[in-house]
């Protein structure tokens, strides 16, 4: 399997229709960091999808660990940052999907010195 086939990047459904808003949202969410790892939710690939719905946006998000003690703060930070950029209500769908490094932003790699 090639490196490209191994990658599991997020796909934001609303991006083709609203590329400018998607770029603004991505930039705003780079400010939301996982407090334990110190990387943004974008770098880690925790924002799995963004959908435009009737009068709101739905953001599908995961965590690096299922029982992250910082989950409430991170979810609220994502919601408030997104609403400030999108100018409309945002609902966060927090999923318990397992995270792995293949979900990270392309060209970004964790350097924890473990390997």
pTM, rounded to two decimals: 0.87
Sequence spans of domains, the chain: 3-103
3-state helix, strand, coil in the chain (%, to 5): 30, 15, 55
pLDDT, tens digit, 9 for 90 and up, residues 29-53: 999 999 998 999 999 999 999 999 9
Average pLDDT over every residue of 1-22: 76
Q: CATH topology for 3-103?
A: GMP Synthetase; Chain A, domain 3 (3.30.300)
């Amino acid at each position: 399997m090639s490196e490209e086939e191994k990658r599991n990047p997020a796909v934001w459904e609303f991006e083709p229709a609203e590329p400018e808003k998607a770029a603004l949202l991505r930039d705003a969410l780079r400010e939301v960091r996982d407090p334990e790892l110190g990387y943004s939710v974008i770098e880690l690939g925790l924002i799995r999808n963004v959908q435009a719905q009737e009068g709101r946006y739905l953001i599908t998000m995961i965590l690096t660990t299922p029982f992250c003690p910082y989950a409430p703060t991170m979810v609220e930070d994502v919601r408030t940052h997104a609403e400030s950029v999108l100018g409309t209500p945002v609902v966060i769908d927090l999923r318990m999907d397992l995270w792995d490094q293949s979900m990270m932003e392309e060209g970004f790699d964790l350097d924890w010195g473990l390997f």
